[in-house]
Amino acid sequence: MMNKKNSKENFLSRKQFQLLIVCVTMGFIIGYSYNQAKDNRDAGSTNKELLEQEDSYREELIAQQERNKELSEEANALQEKIRKYEKSFVGSKKDYTKLVEEAEDLRLLLGDLNAEGKGIRITLQDGDYDPKSANPNDYIVHESHIFKLLNELKISGAQAIAINGQRVLANSYIRCNGPVITIDGKQHPAPFVVEAVGDSATLIAALNLNGGVVDQLLNDNIVVSLEEDQKLTMPKAKVES
């Protein structure tokens, strides 16, 4: 009789243990599923917030670009109005002629106007590398060479200057980085074509002085070519919106 009772108790204990295992497993599965669903909801909510924030930034950027465009057009209209107003003085008062010419020259230097006219074109190229040379940089065009040329052109009366088609302004930032130069954040590879609107005879004579800029560039192993151009055309400087 005792054996039957013990057997029955053992059987119940095994069933209770198995039931406990099943309950624990189901509880784990339910808990894991709940956490997974919660994580998915949180991730979806975060992604939605990021998308909404990105859309908001994009709309602000578009609105700012449109505003910049409007301001640029307004500034151009005002510039044209001022020019017409100044020129109206020239027809009646000769004293204002020189002032108007000086204002036009300043606008050209600032890049506010398209530049057209006679001038010169100078091309600078890296020299042929000599294997016997210890420093290959001795044959590369550097910003110092560009600065020498630009300074001489400005001193000699150049009204407008461009390098590889990009207008160079009074506050332009020029930096050399190996075989390229960076002008106001835009890179240009060699050869560097420098164009200058102005009196071509004066500009050429200034560059070709004995010991002048051209001689200094040649001494630094830079290949220099210089030519006159009867009709140079340079667009006004672009303002990034």
Over the stretch 17-53, which tens digit does the pLDDT of each residue have?
666 676 767 766 776 666 666 666 666 666 777 777 7
Residue 124: partners with Cβ closer than 8 Å, 6 or more residues away: 141, 145, 146, 149, 190, 191, 192, 194, 217, 222, 223, 224
The pLDDT confidence band at residue 151, using thresholds 50, 70 and 90, is: very high
Cα-Cα end-to-end distance for the chain: 99
H-only helix segments in the chain: 2-90, 97-110, 143-155, 200-207, 213-219
pTM: 0.56
β partners of residue 50: none
Reply yes or no on whether the pLDDT at 239 is more than 60. Answer: no
pLDDT of the residue at 185: 86
- Do 116 and 230 form a contact (C-beta atoms < 8 A)? no
Amino acid at 101: E
Flag whether pLDDT at 241 surpasses 50: no
pLDDT over 90 (residue 58): no
Give the per-residue pLDDT at 210.
Answer: 93
Label residue 226 exposed, middle or buried (CB < 10 Å: 0-12, 13-18, 19+).
middle
Q: Amino acid identity of 32?
A: Y
- As a whole number of angstroms, the distance between CA 58 and CA 46 comes to 18
Under 8 Å CB-to-CB from 173, ≥6 apart: which residues?
182, 183, 184, 185
